[in-house]
Amino acid sequence: MAEGTAGEAPGLAFAFAPLNADALFGADDLMQIDRLCRVVAPQVLRRLDDEAARQALGETEILVTGWGCPPIDARVLAAAPRLKLIAHAAGSVRALVSQAVFDRGIAVVSAADANALPVAEYTVAAILFANKGVLNFAARYRRERRSLGIHVNTGERVGNFGKTIGLVGASRIGRRVAQLLRPFDFTVLVADPFFSPTAARGLGVEWVELDELLKRSDVVSLHAPSLPETRHMIDRRRLGLMRDGTTLVNTARGALVEQDALIEELASGRLNAVLDVTEPDVLPADSPLYELPNVLLTPHVAGAAGGELKRFGALITAEIDRFVRGEALRHAVDPATFNFQA
């Protein structure tokens, strides 16, 4: 059991902004944390560099972080000599922790698995709508306001039977999407240089090179991390490989796509897109992406929102329980790979 001095319950502090703890944790989870730990700061810490934070950090063995938490840098670590666990009630910790955290032997857990599910659900909904031609049919129906003869005049491209779905990146979210697609009559392809054909077969998908995936897919969905090596990986040449009528779904990062080239393809009507992320995240007011009828543009809502945030708290509470009891953590972040996680 992880305990404080002289058998005390371990000291715990919350650090994130602008949410309060009850936005992420249900009442039962907060009660469980109170039973397991000694909460050392009455309020959520919004900063980690003022006197109140320094006093709290001096007693903190478990730091529960979330969106808006400042980076855990050398100064924060120096103020937190007893820190043993960073429990991140959100997804990626790439911008939060550095190698110095791991070098000091501090365990890090993340609720990324809890965030993967709503993103995967959004993606599956986008795939199903894309194959049904919902964007184009909705735009035509709004414009023409008459029967469109859907059942006799749509051709073989419309519908979800027998379609090919390409997943770019076998990330946590990419793998979850593949699992959710199993009940459908799809061929699912995956392109990821760090994912083997054997692993792909185990997931029930077909491993292919990226260019082949783009040529074969009816819907291409992006699930790769944003790294210097992946910036504009879907560039003008690769967009040109996609067949007429293909839909690009991006719930990962806008930087993966050469956006100006994508806008040209979308404006021509050759491709369609469902974009939850763009570059920049908030587009200028005059961006054509707001108006193009073959684009569904959403403001980065695929991840956990509203009541879904309570999944973060439930996962983190369970991890704190395991940590206090001295049990193995189920959502520990691997220091060797955390910089590459989508």
Q: What is the domain count for the chain?
A: 2
Q: Which residue has the tokens 């779905």?
A: 165
Q: Which of 212, 264, 279, 308 is catalytic?
A: 279
- Domain range for 43 is 5-110+306-340
How many other C-beta atoms lie within 10 A of the C-beta of residue 144? 9
Query: Is the domain of 103 the same as that of 147?
Result: no
User: Per the structure block, which two tokens stand in for 265?
Assistant: 């393809």
CATH code of the domain containing 127: 3.40.50.720
Decide if 300 is catalytic.
yes
Query: Is the domain of 310 the same as that of 257?
Result: no
**Residue 56: CB partners within 8 Å, gap ≥ 6?**
13, 40, 41, 45
Query: Is the domain of 166 the same as that of 232?
Result: yes
Query: Is the domain of 188 the same as that of 269?
Result: yes
Query: Is the domain of 282 the same as that of 165?
Result: yes
- Decide: helix, strand or coil at residue 70: coil
Q: Which of 175, 176, 223, 253 is catalytic?
A: 253
User: Per the structure block, which two tokens stand in for 178?
Assistant: 């593949």
Decide if 223 is catalytic.
no
Query: Is the domain of 127 the same as that of 268?
Result: yes
Query: Is the domain of 253 the same as that of 133?
Result: yes
Query: Is the domain of 269 the same as that of 292?
Result: yes
Calpha distance 298→289 (Å, rounded): 10
Query: Is the domain of 152 the same as that of 272?
Result: yes
Q: Which of 231, 300, 308, 322 is catalytic?
A: 300
Query: Is the domain of 289 the same as that of 205?
Result: yes
Q: Kindly give the confidence (pLDDT) of every residue in the chain, 342 residues in length, as a single tens digit, with 9 standing for 90 and above.
A: 454 544 689 999 999 999 999 999 999 999 999 999 999 998 999 999 999 999 999 999 999 999 999 999 999 999 999 999 999 999 989 999 999 999 999 999 999 999 999 999 999 999 999 999 988 888 888 888 988 877 666 666 788 999 999 999 999 999 999 999 999 999 999 999 999 999 999 999 999 999 999 999 999 999 999 999 999 999 999 999 999 999 999 999 999 999 999 999 999 999 999 999 999 999 999 999 999 999 999 999 999 999 999 999 999 999 999 999 999 999 999 988 766 555
Calpha distance 325→304 (Å, rounded): 29
Query: Is the domain of 76 the same as that of 223?
Result: no
Query: Is the domain of 264 the same as that of 147?
Result: yes
